Structure 1
Amino acid sequence: MRVISGSCKGRPLKAVPGTTTRPTTDKIKESIFNIIGPYFNGGLALDLYGGSGGLGIEALSRGIEKAVFVDREQKAIETIKLNLESCGYSAQSEVYRNDAQRALKALYKREAVFDLIFLDPPYAKQMLKKDLLKVDEYSMLAEDGIIIAEHDPQVTLPEETERLIRFKYDKYGTATAVSFYKYK
């Protein structure tokens, strides 16, 4: 696992010890960023199920100004902090140990609005539809922002919510799909 492009291109990233996380493969990460970027001129990203921090760190490497990382597992929080430090992004990041719904509520209270929102929960514990509805309800996506939801292809996500629409769906093999949302 490594940073694919940008200022930290080629930098290896540590994985979370154990089997509770499933890191996004380099191939899928590269494909995601080719669709949403590939580079950015500032902005704020949210990596809601941070794991090792790979998606948020990739966004920082490609020009996102600041990223917020959330995970409920202490091992993941420690790994995210190590990877951020290794890449020199600690000052551009906030890292919180919390569950997704509580984190969304706390960020809503801070009136946080994100240009990129990564939703990549462990496949066995997905609540992506609920997460999408909360992001929509709380108006947490910037006007031109994008939500990237990585999920099991067997999981059916809505084509649209009250204000969000899925504009792209890609399937990678038999184990991974990615849905991309933006405002209608």
Structure 2
Amino acid sequence: MRIITGTARGCRLKTPKGQDTRPTADRVKESLFNILGAMVSGRHVLDIFAGTGNLGLEALSRGAASAVFVDQATSSLIRENAIHTRLLSSAEIYGGDVFARLSQLSAAQRSFDLIFCDPPYHKGLWQRALRVFDTTDLLAHDGILVVEHGADETVLPPLSGLVCVENRRYGHTTQLSFFQWQSYREEDDA
């Protein structure tokens, strides 16, 4: 696994040993960042269930202003990867329970332009995270939430403000769903 482009282009990222992890494949990551394009530059990023920090570090390498990483088990690995890619100065890295950290970030009135949510598949975590984002202001009004989930995980939880604006499948294992605020979409369409 490596950073594809930007200031840290070609840097290889360390991966956890002996853990049941599923890092985002380079081809899926490349497709994701091709979709996002120039929307990454200058943005404030949140990367939850961050694993190696792959997505947030790629965003920083491509010009994102800052990134907050949250993962219960791999915060020290994310720090190593941020140091290796020379992106640590733009990163905040937290361990502990992801949902407790989301509650703290919300209470601190933090808001993010771009959120990556890549939890383990088939545990209901992406649906739970969607409900949190739907009921807080963590996603900026014009922000984009990208959720990576299993190709067979298609049931969305009830949402009152967020809408899925795009969905892409990658083989038989992975899909990316893109969410924005319905109110922003309506303004954009007007």
**TM-score of the two chains, using structure 1 as the length reference:** 0.93
Q: How far does residue 39 in structure 1 lie from its aligned partner after superposition?
A: 5.6
SS at match of 1:155: coil
Q: What whole-Å deviation, never above 9, does each CA across 1:70-92 have from its counterpart, x for those lacking one? A: 1111xx11210110001111111
User: Pairwise mapping of residues 17-166 of structure 1 onto structure 2 (< 5 A)?
Assistant: 17-38=17-38, 40-73=40-73, 76-158=74-156, 161-166=159-164
Q: What residue identity is the alignment partner of 1:35?
A: I
Provide the C-alpha distance between the structure 1 equivalents of 2:28 and 2:133, rounded to a whole number of angstroms.
Answer: 24
Q: How far does residue 159 in structure 1 lie from its aligned partner after superposition?
A: 8.2
Provide the C-alpha distance between the structure 1 equivalents of 2:155 and 2:69, rounded to a whole number of angstroms.
Answer: 23
Paired positions, count: 182
Between 54-63 and 87-96, the greater mean CA deviation after superposition: 87-96
SS at match of 1:47: strand
Q: How far does residue 35 in structure 1 lie from its aligned partner after superposition?
A: 0.9
The root-mean-square deviation of aligned C-alpha atoms, in Å, is: 1.5
Change (3 A) 1:160 1:7: farther
SS at match of 2:46: strand
Q: Which runs of 5+ in 2 are unaligned?
A: 183-190
Provide the C-alpha distance between the structure 2 equivalents of 1:10 and 1:25, rounded to a whole number of angstroms.
Answer: 15
Q: What residue identity is the alignment partner of 1:85?
A: I
**TM-score of the two chains, using structure 2 as the length reference:** 0.91
Retained in 2: the 8 A contact 1:113–1:141?
yes
Retained in 2: the 8 A contact 1:50–1:70?
yes
Structure 1's consecutive aligned runs of 4 or more residues displaced over 6 angstroms after TM superposition are none
The question of 1:178 aligning with 2:176 is answered yes
Provide the C-alpha distance between the structure 1 equivalents of 2:145 and 2:155, rounded to a whole number of angstroms.
Answer: 13
Q: What whole-Å deviation, never above 9, does each CA across 1:11-55 have from its counterpart, x for those lacking one? A: 111111123211001100000111112463312111110100000
User: What is the identity percentage for the equivalent residue pairs of Structure 1 and Structure 2?
Assistant: 39
Provide the C-alpha distance between the structure 2 equivalents of 1:31 and 1:18, rounded to a whole number of angstroms.
Answer: 28
What corresponds to 2:185 in structure 1?
none
